[in-house]
Structure 1
Amino acid sequence: MGIDWTQWLRRWDAQQQGYVPEREARFTAMFDVVAQLLPASFVAVDLACGPGSLSQRLLSRFPQARVIAMDMDPVMLAVGRGALGTVDGRLQWARADLASPTWREAVGETPVDVVLSSTAMHWLPLESLARLYRDLGGLLRPGGLFLNADHMTFGSRHPTFARLDGQARDGQWTDAAFAARGAETSEQWWTALAAEPELAPLFAERAELYAGKQRPEAQPGFDTHRALLDEAGFRESGTIWQVLSDRVLLAVR
């Protein structure tokens, strides 16, 4: 009996919802902007796509759109390909490390109309993030959009906001909190998936790829994201949806 890819994607979405309760609202906010600012037919890039949750929802809402879904993780890409396929040729999977200066080569076409990312940019070191934003400036057409949904912390000018945000999230992501909600943690999901014997080679490849990589200790805040986008040549950037530090940032090329 083969791997039930759809079940693994469903479980991925459920545990991610435990970390970001407003996850579906974030997706909807991003797509509402796309609906208002882009034509019905467009090309999108889903950066650090994981198993394709964002791409799946985008293609469902916009039946004339095409998406290039990119990630460096061979396991994530396997789950996405297995669960979603190509959506009648509208979904293309590509492998690339966004921290690499050559990641744009995997896109395969330029320019594109919109680049989206969800809960991923915080993994990049500051210098890699700055380079990525410069690269996006060359990838997007004039007037193209970049939408980033992630936790972007408050700066030093907003200590009260930062304190409120910390209090709201304090204890929310602990194993005990997940157990109390009857929810699966990310670690539990990965451990269960690794028990699929067919995936052993991909997990070995994944371990080699991620050796030495780690989340930066100091993650760039919202003000830093905006400053880097300004330096990259984006003419507008700002928040279009927000619950404390959980934001959707829109930048216009």
Structure 2
Amino acid sequence: MSPYELDARAWQESWDRQQEAYLPDREHRIGVMLDAVAAVVDHDTPRLLDLAGGTGSISLRALARFPRAEITLVDLDPVLLAIAETSLGDRATVVTADLNTPDWTAALPHREYDAVLTATALHWIAEPRLAALYTELRGLLRPGGLFANADHMPDAGLPTLTDRLVARADAHRSARYAAGAVLSWSAWWQHVAADPVLAPLAEKRGQIYPTGHSDDWLPPATWHLDALRAAGFTETGLLWRGGADAVVAGVR
């Protein structure tokens, strides 16, 4: 049992179900990113950075795909980091760092990675800082290395259709909440606050985010692609799209 004495498998399952209520195709989009990793490495020991990795969803799936991968997970949330550390054990290096500060890379164990992957996380970061972060991430990649970001990225050319797709998904999710099929975001955190092991970490989390995360900033995919090109990535484009969500990628 880990120092946290929690059932990480149960909490991972709970987190996955809660996230899948927002992202029904979550597994597919992560799989798309891992396919891209396989395309840019010619060995079975890729060095990966799981950026804002939370409970370790990407890391766990990367290890299932690449059992010998060398993985670093970075996040700031103490609750999610506790679950990640317990789940991953010695199979990954888990690092606490704040992506909103430009010196966050000092906490990393390596200066160069084959790929940096992130999912449904960077929309918490404001526009000027995210643009700067993309430049920092390019500097962490080896030549030919991959950056992939899966998030809410509407298509600027389909505003009406996107609004209708989002409304339809919201209605379906609300019906699932009402039926008790899955926990909402707020209900999941209520369970955390009631857990004797995670509750102290939830209090610490409240000190880090006293007013919660910043408001979502959801620019279209074109903004991300422009920012990646401005950061110096030689190739940029969409790896995947589903409704209002997309995976953008950049190759150094």
TM over 0.5: yes
Query: 1:181 and 1:230 mapped to 2: Cα distance?
Result: 44
Structure 1 stretches of 4+ with a deviation exceeding 4 A read none
TM-score (norm 1): 0.91
SS at 2:236 equivalent: strand
Which of residues 16, 21, 26 in structure 1 aligns to 2:19?
Answer: 16
Alpha carbons 2:192, 2:202 under 8 Å: kept = no
- Larger mean Cα displacement after TM superposition, 2-11 or 217-226: 217-226
Q: CA deviation at 1:200?
A: 3.0
Q: CA deviation at 1:212?
A: 4.3
1:55 aligns with 2:59: yes
The aligned counterpart of 1:182 is: 181
The aligned counterpart of 1:122 is: 123
Amino acid at match of 1:21: P
Query: 2:215 and 2:234 mapped to 1: Cα distance?
Result: 28
- Larger mean Cα displacement after TM superposition, 171-180 or 145-154: 171-180
Amino acid at match of 2:240: W
Between the aligned residues of both structures, percent identity stands at: 39
Query: 1:205 and 1:218 mapped to 2: Cα distance?
Result: 25
The aligned counterpart of 1:143 is: 144
Alpha carbons 2:228, 2:236 under 8 Å: kept = yes
Query: 1:132 and 1:28 mapped to 2: Cα distance?
Result: 24
Query: 2:137 and 2:126 mapped to 1: Cα distance?
Result: 16
Alpha carbons 1:147, 1:250 under 8 Å: kept = yes
1:167 aligns with 2:164: yes
Query: 1:187 and 1:214 mapped to 2: Cα distance?
Result: 13
The aligned counterpart of 1:7 is: 10
1:68-147 equivalences in 2 (<5 Å): 68-87=72-91, 91-147=92-148
Deviations 1:40-87 (A, max 9, x none): 221000011010011000011012211100100011000111223222
Q: CA deviation at 1:224?
A: 1.1
Amino acid at match of 2:108: V
Alpha carbons 1:3, 1:196 under 8 Å: kept = no
Query: 2:176 and 2:63 mapped to 1: Cα distance?
Result: 33
1:21-32 equivalences in 2 (<5 Å): 21-32=24-35
Amino acid at match of 1:26: R
Alpha carbons 2:123, 2:217 under 8 Å: kept = no
Change (3 A) 1:35 1:235: same
SS at 1:219 equivalent: coil
Amino acid at match of 2:105: R
Alpha carbons 2:79, 2:202 under 8 Å: kept = yes
SS at 2:100 equivalent: coil
TM-score (norm 2): 0.92
Query: 1:175 and 1:71 mapped to 2: Cα distance?
Result: 29
Alpha carbons 1:121, 1:129 under 8 Å: kept = yes
Query: 1:62 and 1:250 mapped to 2: Cα distance?
Result: 20
User: Could you list the runs of 5+ residues in structure 2 that have no partner in the other structure?
Assistant: none
SS at 2:197 equivalent: helix
- Larger mean Cα displacement after TM superposition, 142-151 or 192-201: 192-201
Query: 2:18 and 2:211 mapped to 1: Cα distance?
Result: 25
Alpha carbons 2:123, 2:218 under 8 Å: kept = yes
Alpha carbons 2:78, 2:201 under 8 Å: kept = yes
Residue correspondences, number? 246
Alpha carbons 1:94, 1:107 under 8 Å: kept = yes
